[in-house]
Structure 1
Amino acid sequence: MMTQKTGALIFDETADRYDIRFDVNDYYGGLHCGDCMEVFVRGKWKPTRMEYGDNWYLVGIRAADLSGLRVRI
Protein backbone atom coordinates (compact mmCIF):
# COMPACT_ATOMS: atom_id res chain seq x y z
CA MET A 1 0.00 0.00 0.00
CA MET A 2 1.23 3.47 -0.89
CA THR A 3 1.90 5.85 1.99
CA GLN A 4 -0.48 8.80 2.11
CA LYS A 5 0.80 12.30 2.78
CA THR A 6 -1.21 14.90 4.65
CA GLY A 7 -1.02 18.59 3.86
CA ALA A 8 -3.03 21.75 3.29
CA LEU A 9 -4.60 23.02 0.09
CA ILE A 10 -3.11 26.26 -1.18
CA PHE A 11 -3.88 28.24 -4.33
CA ASP A 12 -0.91 28.72 -6.64
CA GLU A 13 -1.54 32.11 -8.30
CA THR A 14 1.19 31.60 -10.91
CA ALA A 15 -0.20 28.25 -12.10
CA ASP A 16 -3.86 29.28 -11.50
CA ARG A 17 -4.56 25.96 -9.77
CA TYR A 18 -4.53 24.41 -6.32
CA ASP A 19 -1.58 22.59 -4.86
CA ILE A 20 -0.96 20.70 -1.61
CA ARG A 21 1.67 21.98 0.79
CA PHE A 22 3.13 19.19 2.92
CA ASP A 23 5.98 21.14 4.49
CA VAL A 24 7.88 24.43 4.11
CA ASN A 25 9.40 23.44 0.75
CA ASP A 26 7.46 20.26 -0.01
CA TYR A 27 4.56 20.55 -2.45
CA TYR A 28 2.51 18.05 -4.45
CA GLY A 29 3.18 19.90 -7.68
CA GLY A 30 -0.24 21.17 -8.74
CA LEU A 31 -3.64 19.51 -8.79
CA HIS A 32 -5.54 18.74 -11.99
CA CYS A 33 -9.17 17.85 -12.75
CA GLY A 34 -9.90 14.31 -11.62
CA ASP A 35 -7.14 14.17 -8.98
CA CYS A 36 -8.51 12.14 -6.06
CA MET A 37 -7.80 12.80 -2.39
CA GLU A 38 -9.43 12.80 1.01
CA VAL A 39 -10.39 16.00 2.83
CA PHE A 40 -10.81 16.34 6.59
CA VAL A 41 -14.29 17.76 7.28
CA ARG A 42 -16.43 17.64 10.41
CA GLY A 43 -13.94 15.40 12.19
CA LYS A 44 -13.54 12.72 9.52
CA TRP A 45 -11.79 12.00 6.24
CA LYS A 46 -14.05 12.17 3.19
CA PRO A 47 -13.04 10.99 -0.30
CA THR A 48 -13.31 13.64 -3.00
CA ARG A 49 -11.73 14.78 -6.25
CA MET A 50 -10.64 18.12 -7.70
CA GLU A 51 -12.73 19.50 -10.58
CA TYR A 52 -13.11 22.78 -12.41
CA GLY A 53 -16.32 24.50 -13.52
CA ASP A 54 -16.73 28.23 -13.02
CA ASN A 55 -13.98 27.77 -10.46
CA TRP A 56 -12.00 24.99 -8.76
CA TYR A 57 -14.02 22.82 -6.41
CA LEU A 58 -13.94 19.52 -4.52
CA VAL A 59 -16.76 17.12 -5.43
CA GLY A 60 -19.25 16.83 -2.56
CA ILE A 61 -17.52 19.46 -0.41
CA ARG A 62 -19.24 22.76 0.30
CA ALA A 63 -16.61 25.39 1.04
CA ALA A 64 -16.43 29.04 0.03
CA ASP A 65 -12.63 28.83 0.07
CA LEU A 66 -10.65 25.62 -0.38
CA SER A 67 -7.38 27.17 0.81
CA GLY A 68 -6.24 25.75 4.11
CA LEU A 69 -8.37 22.60 3.99
CA ARG A 70 -6.55 19.56 5.37
CA VAL A 71 -6.15 16.89 2.71
CA ARG A 72 -4.32 13.64 2.23
CA ILE A 73 -3.30 12.05 -1.00
Structure 2
Amino acid sequence: MKQGALIFDERSDRYDIRFDLADYYGGLHCGETFDVMVGGRWKPTRIEYGDDWYLVGIRADDLSGLRVRI
Protein backbone atom coordinates (compact mmCIF):
# COMPACT_ATOMS: atom_id res chain seq x y z
CA MET A 1 0.00 0.00 0.00
CA LYS A 2 1.13 3.54 -0.76
CA GLN A 3 0.43 6.48 1.54
CA GLY A 4 -0.22 10.02 0.44
CA ALA A 5 -2.48 13.04 0.85
CA LEU A 6 -5.72 13.95 -0.88
CA ILE A 7 -5.50 16.98 -3.16
CA PHE A 8 -8.10 18.57 -5.41
CA ASP A 9 -7.15 18.77 -9.08
CA GLU A 10 -8.98 21.78 -10.51
CA ARG A 11 -8.21 20.77 -14.11
CA SER A 12 -10.10 17.48 -13.81
CA ASP A 13 -12.52 18.72 -11.09
CA ARG A 14 -11.81 15.62 -8.99
CA TYR A 15 -9.63 14.51 -6.10
CA ASP A 16 -6.28 12.81 -6.53
CA ILE A 17 -3.71 11.33 -4.16
CA ARG A 18 -0.27 12.90 -4.02
CA PHE A 19 2.38 10.41 -2.92
CA ASP A 20 5.45 12.59 -3.57
CA LEU A 21 6.36 15.81 -5.36
CA ALA A 22 5.78 14.34 -8.82
CA ASP A 23 4.01 11.06 -7.96
CA TYR A 24 0.22 11.07 -8.18
CA TYR A 25 -2.41 8.34 -8.23
CA GLY A 26 -4.04 9.72 -11.38
CA GLY A 27 -7.47 10.89 -10.20
CA LEU A 28 -10.12 9.28 -8.03
CA HIS A 29 -13.51 8.22 -9.37
CA CYS A 30 -16.79 7.67 -7.53
CA GLY A 31 -16.83 4.38 -5.66
CA GLU A 32 -13.06 4.01 -5.33
CA THR A 33 -12.04 2.62 -1.95
CA PHE A 34 -9.05 3.41 0.25
CA ASP A 35 -8.18 4.02 3.91
CA VAL A 36 -8.09 7.44 5.57
CA MET A 37 -6.30 8.37 8.81
CA VAL A 38 -8.87 9.51 11.38
CA GLY A 39 -8.02 10.02 15.06
CA GLY A 40 -4.73 8.18 14.69
CA ARG A 41 -6.32 5.09 13.10
CA TRP A 42 -6.84 3.94 9.52
CA LYS A 43 -10.50 3.76 8.55
CA PRO A 44 -11.79 2.23 5.29
CA THR A 45 -13.90 4.54 3.13
CA ARG A 46 -14.87 5.30 -0.45
CA ILE A 47 -15.15 8.57 -2.32
CA GLU A 48 -18.50 9.66 -3.76
CA TYR A 49 -19.99 12.75 -5.38
CA GLY A 50 -23.33 14.39 -4.57
CA ASP A 51 -23.53 18.17 -4.21
CA ASP A 52 -19.77 17.94 -3.64
CA TRP A 53 -17.10 15.26 -3.10
CA TYR A 54 -17.31 13.37 0.20
CA LEU A 55 -15.95 10.27 1.94
CA VAL A 56 -18.52 7.73 3.11
CA GLY A 57 -18.55 7.56 6.93
CA ILE A 58 -16.02 10.39 7.36
CA ARG A 59 -16.94 13.85 8.63
CA ALA A 60 -14.68 16.49 7.09
CA ASP A 61 -15.32 20.04 5.90
CA ASP A 62 -12.35 19.86 3.54
CA LEU A 63 -10.91 16.62 2.13
CA SER A 64 -7.68 18.25 0.93
CA GLY A 65 -4.68 17.20 2.97
CA LEU A 66 -6.24 14.10 4.56
CA ARG A 67 -3.74 11.23 4.88
CA VAL A 68 -4.80 8.22 2.85
CA ARG A 69 -3.41 4.87 1.76
CA ILE A 70 -4.35 2.83 -1.24
TM-score, with structure 1 as normaliser: 0.95
Q: What is the match of residue 9 of structure 1?
A: 6
CA RMSD of aligned residues (A): 0.3
Alignment deviations for residues 11-60 of structure 1 (CA, whole Å, 9 cap, x no partner): 00000000000000000000000000000000100000000000000000
The CA distance in 1 between the partners of 2:65 and 2:40, in whole Å, is 15
The CA distance in 2 between the partners of 1:61 and 1:52, in whole Å, is 14
Q: How many correspondences in the alignment?
A: 70
TM-score, with structure 2 as normaliser: 0.99
Structure 1 alignment gaps of length 5 or more: none
Quote how far apart the aligned CAs of 1:65 are.
Answer: 0.1
Report the identity percentage.
77
* Equivalent residue in structure 2 for 1:35, among 5, 9, 32: 32
Structure 1 residues 45-56: aligned runs within 5 Å:
45-56=42-53
Structure 2 alignment gaps of length 5 or more: none
Q: What is the match of residue 23 of structure 2?
A: 26
